[in-house]
């Protein structure tokens, strides 16, 4: 275990590519470079609020033992071997080309080398302005920082590919935010998250270079990405092989989102990882009631481009944007067939995932209709999807009437079922039980498969909101409980949180309504 202050950091990215070395934080276009030097802006009173022991152990990072380590986490101290920078990238936002974006409130300190020789980037989010902050201040509020810290770790324990969070630090400084961009700005407590990943490269890094016709830089970045993060890919066709694998990784990631009911909320191409990781936690949410049209992002209304049910198609669209950025290096005739494999890969993985959620021995062609029937019926009834699947695990093998089925699932309903909904649910469960009777695996094995695929605890927005309100008052009891609960999502260890969204949270800001500032 090494301390943050004594580690000798690597800086392969900045040593490999051209960057703006001036350290000037003035917002501007930065053609010809892949990053700009950006020293974090010091804060008044950095205070460590949370530390991920498990992640620290995995990376070999010693827990801060003195104020100097905390000063690093707060952006107040930079060691001799660090080289803080903000990456330059572009992106399509809500379907429209946005041009240069870049790390507006994220600053990478350096690359932490593990014992096995691999490296992870350590990045501060909320550490002050960079050349890519545009008109913003580069800061983050406690509200958004708590959400990212807890959710990125929660996703890890759910088994979803994700960036992770090492620490949460209060800055001791107020930050002015207009939560819903409606003219009601207010000061909120500031905070900084240290987030980590093998790489924070996005689709937008490659889009930026293509848009500027910097083909040499584009080729150099593609080769560097492959050599560093896909070293098993070699030969003259390695760029095509890389794109193929990224298509597969992205499909796998979104299937996992759909499995646990995660809604990203802002799937812009600059928020898509080239490692197939969930990245940039903003206006996200887990589903409460099962609504494929649900989007947690007020900025996404009324079109609901990033609604839960649209995430697969948006991932495909985003991959198409990346394919377009790679056209200077590989032909359209090669890229298009690779892109089109997304659909087959996604649906194959999706149906396999649903088979596990339903406890099937295998997914046969005839099971596709049953899975579609689940989708249609649950969309109509809109039960609490997490609770519904937990009740499905314990479903008796004989259900004789609509009333019996309704009673079994009653705790998952947000409203009383209409007569036609009762009938649809009874038909669905009857068909499901008939299919279970053909299973070639034992009942207990089927149920275990379901327990492994269906989380019992999810980090609901209203729980996050309550924890944030407590922290703002100087209390951390709920926050600490949630920090432990996220580590056990498939058990009943924290069943005090096994409950539907309360009525008060249905329309409360910060619970059901979020913005990109979240």
Bridge partner residues of 125 (DSSP)? 106, 193
CA 417 to chain centroid, in Å, comes to 33
The encoded tokens of residue 108 equal 């990478």
**Cα separations in angstroms, 111 against 48, 198, 458, 463, 499:** 22, 9, 31, 34, 41
Q: Are 379 and 291 in contact (CB under 8 A)?
A: yes
103 is catalytic: no
| 174, 187 contact by CB (below 8 A) | yes
Return d(Cα 71, Cα 82) in angstroms, integer: 14
d(CA 494, CA 487): 10
Q: Is 304 exposed, middle or buried, given 0-12, 13-18 or 19+ CB atoms closer than 10 A?
A: middle
Given 20, 69, 103, 270, which residue is catalytic? 270
Question: CB-based contacts of 271: which residues, under 8 Å, 6+ apart?
Answer: 91, 202, 264, 279, 280, 282
Q: How far apart are the first and last CA of the chain?
A: 34
Contact 471, 49 (CB under 8 A): yes
Separation of CA 387 from chain center: 22
Closest CA to 169 of 44, 268, 27, 282: 44
Closest CA to 137 of 148, 129, 147, 146: 129
Q: How many residues does the chain have?
A: 518
Separation of alpha carbons 54 and 57, rounded Å: 5
User: Tokens 């090492």 map to which residue?
Assistant: 166
- β-bridge pairing 164-177 and 47-51: antiparallel
C-beta atoms surrounding 327 within 10 Å: 13
Instruction: Tell me if residue 5 falls in helix, strand or coil.
Output: coil
Catalytic residue ranges:
270
């Amino acid at each position: 275990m090494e301390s943050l202050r004594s580690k000798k950091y690597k800086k392969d990215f900045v040593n490999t590519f051209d960057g703006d070395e001036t350290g000037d934080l003035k917002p501007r276009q930065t053609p010809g470079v892949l990053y700009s030097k950006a020293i974090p802006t010091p804060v008044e009173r950095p205070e460590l609020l949370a530390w991920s022991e498990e992640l620290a152990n995995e990376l070999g990072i010693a827990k801060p033992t003195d104020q100097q380590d905390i000063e690093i986490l707060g952006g107040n101290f930079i060691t001799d071997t660090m080289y803080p920078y903000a990456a330059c990238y572009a992106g399509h936002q809500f379907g429209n080309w946005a041009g240069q974006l870049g790390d507006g409130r994220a600053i990478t300190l350096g690359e932490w080398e593990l014992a096995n020789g691999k490296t992870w980037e350590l990045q501060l989010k909320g550490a002050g302005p960079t050349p890519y902050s545009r008109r913003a201040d580069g800061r983050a509020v406690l509200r958004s920082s708590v959400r990212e810290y807890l959710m990125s770790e929660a996703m890890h324990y759910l088994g979803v590919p994700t960036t992770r969070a090492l620490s949460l630090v209060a800055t001791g400084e107020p930050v002015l935010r207009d939560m819903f961009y409606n003219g009601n700005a207010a000061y909120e407590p500031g905070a900084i998250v240290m987030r980590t990943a093998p790489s924070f490269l996005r689709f937008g890094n490659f889009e930026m270079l293509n848009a500027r016709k910097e083909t040499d830089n584009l080729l150099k970045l593609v080769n560097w990405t492959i050599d560093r993060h896909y070293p098993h890919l070699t030969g003259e066709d390695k760029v095509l092989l890389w794109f193929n694998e990224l298509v597969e990784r992205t499909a796998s990631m979104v299937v996992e989102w759909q499995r646990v009911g995660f809604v990203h909320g802002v799937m812009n191409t600059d928020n898509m990882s080239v490692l197939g990781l969930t990245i940039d936690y903003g206006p996200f949410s887990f589903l409460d009631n099962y609504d494929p049209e649900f989007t947690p992002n007020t900025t996404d209304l009324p079109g609901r481009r990033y609604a839960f049910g649209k995430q697969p198609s948006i991932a495909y669209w985003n991959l198409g944007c990346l394919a377009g950025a790679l056209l200077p290096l590989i032909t359209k005739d090669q890229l298009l067939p690779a892109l089109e494999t997304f659909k087959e890969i996604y649906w194959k993985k999706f149906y396999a995932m649903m088979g596990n959620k339903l406890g099937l021995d295998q997914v046969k062609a005839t099971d596709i209709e049953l899975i579609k029937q689940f989708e249609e019926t649950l969309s109509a009834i809109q039960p609490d999807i997490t609770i519904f699947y937990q009740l499905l695990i314990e479903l008796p093998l004989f259900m004789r009437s609509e009333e019996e089925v309704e009673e079994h699932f009653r705790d998952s309903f947000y409203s009383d079922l209409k007569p036609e909904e009762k009938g649809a649910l009874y038909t669905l469960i009857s068909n499901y039980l008939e299919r279970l009777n053909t299973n070639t695996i034992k009942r207990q094995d089927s149920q275990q498969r379901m327990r492994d695929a269906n989380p019992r605890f999810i980090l609901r927005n209203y729980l996050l909101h309550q924890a944030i309100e407590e922290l703002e008052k100087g209390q951390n009891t709920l926050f600490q409980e949630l920090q432990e609960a996220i580590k056990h999502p498939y058990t009943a260890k924290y069943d005090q949180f096994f409950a539907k969204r309360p009525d008060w949270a249905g329309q409360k800001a910060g619970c059901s309504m979020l913005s990109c500032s979240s």
